[in-house]
Amino acid sequence: MKGVLTLLVLIAIGAGIFALGSLRRGSDDKPFLHVADEVALTVKVAKPERGEIIRLVQSPGDVEAVLEVDISSEVVAKIEEMPVEEGDVVKESDLLCRLDDKNLRAELESATERIAQLRAAILQAEADVEKADRDCERQKRLSESDATSRIEMLDYLTVRKKARAVLDMRKHELAQAEAMLKRLKEDLKRTIITSPIDGVVAKINAKQGEVVVTGTMNNPGTVIMTVTDLSKMQVRARVDEVEIPLVKSGQRARVYLQSDPDKPVPARVVRVASKGIKPLGRDVVTFEAILEVLSNDERIKPGMTANVEVEVDKSEDAITVPVEAVVHRMRKELDEKIVEQFDKRQENLDLSERARQAQYIKVVYVMEDDVAKVRLIEPGIADSRRVELRGGATIDDVVIIGPYRSLDQIKDGKKVALADKDEAKEGKDKSGAEEEAEEQRKAEEDQQSTDDNEEEQTVAASTTP
């Protein structure tokens, strides 16, 4: 019984408070019991802008020369002369290095004498073949008159065959000796190493007096020096696997050197690797993209590190807003009309209902008469600061861009107010008279609010049981 009476008292108190809230004073038509208005969210806003927007793919890379040649020796010999130093400019066919050729010249003389000896041996073998042919012919005539035996005839035929074999062998030995002589002459020419290109001696790895060796399968051999053509440079960039489908040959790019990041160098994508690279011990897969540097800037040196920006998409007349304005909302947090518009755009996509429910919808909030209104957008190209809107907002809208705490709480129809910074910005355009009137109006409202609070306290005290 006691609990029922307590419930009835609480209901009576609530009804009394509601009745007092409904009654109004005759002088100013304000309620006797003042209930606080909805607290407005403090927001920052921005106007959409129309202009150019470019989507960029950024990646690190290394600068290298398009044409760089490692100079190695094709013969084993000692360096006898090296007239160049690092940094020297050389032209094609200029002398870079001269190797010791004494052993090769001795081998060349030996090979020449060997050829002369084999030619004499061939003459002797030819004479033996002629004699064997004559003996066989004579034995053939004798055998016709039964003046010789069959075994003796076969012996002469065998001697002729051996003479012809010796002649063939001497001829093959002569061909082999001539090939050896030709190889020795080529090796002798290779003792004089000249520059294959116009360029600069970038690095010297050997010194005069050292013995250089040729490369084998397991030994790369001695790299005497490196000659680089600095007139054409390129960047070998490492693009992430997520963004590599956007990078194509012929796209414009910019190269930012670590030594001078404020002055970009123009470049162009030449080719993109078809296979990715996965560094040892890492799960990141990257693809190499070769970019041709379209400048003869002397700042660019081989071996420098750089950052690359590739223009993968571009819109010259786009309506853009700051990236902070785009908000992701779950389907259940939005009005049914917004969700229906979103589903209509995706009706051609093959998505399960579970995947559809898990989707986040991109929207923006615009400010209309101090109230936030949600707009479904169709985002386009985006860069690091702005995003293109292909639908959902116009150039005349006022878009809410922050702060993050307000964007997290904001909903459609929520009352909003500009931040002090934005109010001050708008106040700059007001005249002095308007500012004074505004201050007077605020003072009157503050005074009226004080009076209302005193009345509320009085009413509350009278209604307390």
**pLDDT tens digits for 240-275?**
999 999 999 999 999 999 888 889 999 999 999 999
- Domain edges within the chain: 1-35, 101-190, 318-419, 420-451
pTM, entire model: 0.63
Which among 363, 365, 375, 371 is positioned nearest to 402, based on CA atoms? 365
**pLDDT tens digits for 295-337?**
888 889 899 999 999 999 999 889 999 999 999 988 888 888 8
Q: What average pLDDT does this structure show over 132-143?
A: 84
Does residue 442 carry a pLDDT above 90? no
Q: What are phi and psi of 363, to 5 degrees?
A: -140, 165
Q: How many CB atoms lie within 10 A of CB 212?
A: 21
Q: What average pLDDT does this structure show over 142-146?
A: 76
The CATH number that domain 101-190 falls under is 1.10.287
The CATH number that domain 318-419 falls under is 2.40.420
Contact of 386 with 56, CB cutoff 8 Å: no
List, in order, residues 6 or more apart from 374 with CB less than 8 Å away: 329, 334, 335, 338, 363, 364, 365, 411, 412
